[in-house]
Amino acid sequence: MSTTHIKSIVGVWTKTSNETSEHNYPEKLSFTENGLFQAIDKPESIFYIWDVGTYEFKGKSKILISCANDKIVAYGIKFSKDKQDITFIDEHQSKIQYHKSN
């Protein structure tokens, strides 16, 4: 696992994209150094694809994320140059964008 990617992803992220296809992704996410993540402020009435689980980088442009149904799903991943924005790309080429909150 890339140490640079781990350091870049650790922290709290707020979703900035607003597409209809992204309503199942949490508004806020927290990633830790030990390969865990969790949705923050999760409303009871919404089913999030990502609720709590693990992540693992595969190379520079792919991340494996354990989803709410316990399936491990590969996403494309791209960091902005300043590492303050991140884009996840799902299997349908939908882009889910987050900005680092802390």
In the chain, what are the domain boundaries? Answer: 3-100
At 82 the three-state DSSP class reads coil
Q: Are 30 and 101 in contact (CB under 8 A)?
A: no
Q: Cβ distance 28 to 37 under 8 Å?
A: no
Tell me, what's the pLDDT at 60? 87
Q: Does domain 3-100 have CATH number 2.40.128.490?
A: yes
Looking at residue 19, its pLDDT comes to: 74
Q: What is the pTM of this model?
A: 0.88
- Tell me, what's the pLDDT at 4? 65
Of the chain, the percentage scoring pLDDT greater than 90 comes to: 64
Write the DSSP symbol of residue 41. Answer: S
If phi > 0 it is left, if psi is from -120 to 50 it is alpha, else beta; for residue 42 that is beta
Q: What SS3 class is residue 6?
A: helix
Rounded Cα–Cα distance for residues 7 and 97 (Å): 18
